Amino acid sequence: MTALSVNVNKFALIRNARGADLPNLHNISKKCIEFGADGITVHPRPDERHAKFSDLEILKNLTSEFENIEFNIEGYPSNDFIQKVIRVKPDQVTLVPDPPDALTSSFGWDCEKNKDFLTEVIKKFKDNNIRVSIFINPSINTLSNLEIINPDRVELYTYDYAKNYHNDKILAIAPYVEVTKYLEKEFPYIEFNAGHDLNLGNLDFMLKNIPRIKEVSIGHALVCDAIDYGLKETVNRYKQIAQR
């Protein structure tokens, strides 16, 4: 079974559009949990255009009220981000390499170039009992030094899979299967997450091919689906796929 973490960034974006508190992120996240989500994810960026750093403590308190509900914070590990995340102590931090002004995360870490940086940063989070996942491309070439960097998990960046799914899903999944097979063999203690552009159409095939995925974090498509089906039905549909 794979955990479904709902990325509530897009709800925060709507809230911020009017500079007020509608929808309220705590309430919408609580509903996601009550409707079946196993976790809540946010990606506070330096410009706070979606989730704000002031949301973190509120969401941490919310998720702590429930048993087995996780809070995951994504972001580039600047000094400021590290400090703020360690203060809040989420269950998991997902480190992404994208620059502050990026529209969305669009590539994984190069573990060769970032070996020392990642090793140091990951240690800081782990010393504070925060599980660390790093965002990776489906490419073995970028995954050197994992034994030194020592993340608990890697999050597969699934944009390419989603983009190519409709042309040829077997071809689309192939690099992900290859990379997870490599990781299973070389680093059996590293667990997998997955995220980006996963949706009701492509999620099932991803999880059938890589059933070891522990968690998917899904935001954009889920919020779009909620317009059609309502939030309860939407979370339920994703959850059913993740549970299969």
Rounded to whole angstroms, the Cα distance separating 195 from 198 reads 6
Is the Cβ–Cβ distance between 66 and 44 less than 8 Å? no
Cis, peptide link before residue 23, omega less than 30° from 0: yes
Whether 196 is a known active-site residue: answer: yes
Whether 166 is a known active-site residue: answer: no
Q: How many angstroms separate the Cα of 220 from the Cα of each of 50, 158, 217?
A: 12, 13, 10
Rounded to whole angstroms, the Cα distance separating 20 from 15 reads 6
Residue carrying structure tokens 């941490």: 60
Helix (H) and strand (E) counts for the chain?
11, 8
Sole window of 21-29, 60-68, 192-200, 228-236 interacting with ligand PXP (rule: CB under 6 A): 192-200
- Check binding of 215 to ligand PXP (CB under 6 A): no
Is the Cβ–Cβ distance between 120 and 99 less than 8 Å? no
Neighbouring C-beta atoms of residue 129, cutoff 10 Å: 9
- Check binding of 195 to ligand PXP (CB under 6 A): yes
Sole window of 13-21, 62-70, 184-192, 194-202 interacting with ligand PXP (rule: CB under 6 A): 194-202
Sole window of 115-123, 175-183, 212-220, 235-243 interacting with ligand PXP (rule: CB under 6 A): 212-220
Determine which residue in the list 196, 203, 206, 231 makes contact with ligand PXP, applying CB under 6 A: 196
- Check binding of 81 to ligand PXP (CB under 6 A): no
Structure tokens at 14: 């709507």
CB of 56 to ligand PXP, least distance (A): 15
- Check binding of 135 to ligand PXP (CB under 6 A): yes
CB of 220 to ligand PXP, least distance (A): 3
- Check binding of 95 to ligand PXP (CB under 6 A): no
Is the Cβ–Cβ distance between 202 and 162 less than 8 Å? yes
- Check binding of 5 to ligand PXP (CB under 6 A): no
CB of 79 to ligand PXP, least distance (A): 20
**Helix/strand/coil for 76:** coil
- Check binding of 219 to ligand PXP (CB under 6 A): yes
Whether 26 is a known active-site residue: answer: no
Structure tokens at 40: 């809540």
Question: Which residues are known to be catalytic?
Answer: 43, 74, 196
- List residues near ligand PXP by CB under 6 A: 7, 9, 43, 74, 94, 96, 104-105, 135, 155, 195-198, 217-221
